Amino acid sequence: MQRFPDGFRWGAATAAYQIEGAWDADGKGASIWDVFAHTPGRILGGDRGDVACDHYQRYRDDVALMAELGLDAYRFSVAWPRVVPDGSGAPNRAGLDFYSRLVDALLERGIAPFLTLYHWDLPQALQARGGWGSRDIAGWFGDYAALLGRTLGDRVKHWITFNEPFAFIVLGHVFGMHAPGLRDPALAFQASHHVNLAHGEAVRALRAAVPDAAIGITQVSMPCYPASDDPADRDAARRYDGFVNRWYWEPPLLGRYPQDILDRLGALAPAIAPGDLERLSPPLDFFGHNSYTRAVVRHDPEAALVAAKPIDTGNPATAMGWEIHPEHLYDALTRITRDYGAPAIYITENGAAFEDRVTDGAVDDPERTSYLRAHLLACQRAIADGVALRGYFCWSLLDNFEWSFGYAKRFGLIHVDFATQRRIVKASGRFFAACARANGVAG
């Protein structure tokens, strides 16, 4: 048994739109994902998040399952339009009360809440006012953060401003695969700057409202490796890394944008006002790291802007088609420590989708168990080599609405029958529970 340091957090993660349901209940406003999922042709199978896992009604049962798994932390997100239906202005007391009850239920079970302010469900009312393309959104987001800090900060001490800006900017504003379904690269890069400004406003608002808060941001990492030793492939891997990782990591952590990417963007580069770089980079307490796979990249002059393209390695992959390569996690953790000086790191998401089957009321999922074991051992190696890794949150607690894939992809430690809402802890969930209780993993 390879032990983790004392105080290491064992948790699972979810996102509001993916599990809560109750999409229009108790005064909640519409989100961009409500609108997107209700648009024919956007989601596989015509699925919607209207009910999802019905967590809004069943949260106490789900918290009991977390306790059964031995978790001591839970990362969840707040649906901005549930607590501020129009995105700015009057709050919705019923929405705030829901999250207050959830936090109390977690604390009653000894589970620390890790609250994410934004996991992609922007109020549709703000999208109508320009969304992330509007510079005003930084102030709206700061006000939202202050509201939650005042409401929950007496009990919530761990705060995450954003989940994966790369994903919701690129998939939502460049490729149109996610809400709000836009295809406008110039808008996307400007929006990414406004996200960074909003992050800065939120950090300052939370510092004022919750003086003892630990605050971070969650970024997705896709370590980039050249497909060969050819200098052209090496340069391609660096470019790809610049657009996928460094463009999003460097502003909040280092207070700058990577110059090589700015130069390559040219007219697509965002407008940056004097003082912006200071505004968007207040000190953080931790870096949240979402990690699933890597990219092996070759030079491709036909690939727009990046001139780089990932290749298929032919190695085993998850149901998402993502290569299983646990070493990428070690490489990412040591790089974040070496190059960015992160004071502490939490793995805020890591997990895998596979084709689960219910047999005699049970779900045996050895592929997921193997995936988790290998990645936890990679975490062990990183800690041994000096990484200040403070916790691991498995994605996900529950099978859920997996964005444009609807209910077709299952990541959960707990199986959900979406027709009946029956929950079944998978074999991988039992494995993870054993790790959490032992604070270690068998090598």
Tokens of 400: 């859920």
pLDDT on residue 443? 76
**What amino acid occupies position 309?**
K
* Domains held by the chain: number: 1
In this prediction, the residues of the chain whose per-residue pLDDT falls under 50 are: none
What's the maximum distance between 2 C-alpha atoms anywhere in the chain? 63
pTM attached to this predicted model: 0.98
- Residue among 150, 11, 8, 159 at smallest CA distance from 73: 11
User: Which CATH number is 284's domain given?
Assistant: 3.20.20.80
- Residue among 138, 6, 31, 15 at smallest CA distance from 83: 31
What is the Cα–Cα distance from 61 to 63, expressed in whole angstroms? 5
Containing H/E element for 415? strand 414-417
pLDDT on residue 1? 86
245 φ/ψ angles, rounded to the nearest 5 degrees? -110, -65
What is the Cα–Cα distance from 338 to 268, expressed in whole angstroms? 30
Residue 40: Cβ-neighbour burial (10 angstroms; 0-12, 13-18, 19+): exposed
CB 52 within 8 A of CB 105: no
Containing H/E element for 142? helix 137-152
What is the Cα–Cα distance from 43 to 29, expressed in whole angstroms? 21
pLDDT (tens digit per residue) in 22-39 = 999 999 999 999 999 999
Residue whose token pair is 């992959």? 317
pLDDT on residue 193? 98
Tokens of 62: 């789900």
Beta-bridged to residue 9, according to DSSP, are 391
Checking phi first, is residue 110 left (phi over 0); if not, alpha (psi -120 to 50) or beta?
Answer: left
pLDDT on residue 46? 98
Range of the domain at 262: 2-441
Residue 1: Cβ-neighbour burial (10 angstroms; 0-12, 13-18, 19+): exposed
pLDDT on residue 40? 98
CB 70 within 8 A of CB 9: no
Residues designated as active site: 164, 349
- Residue among 408, 407, 405, 414 at smallest CA distance from 433: 414
Cβ count near 385 (within 10 Å): 11
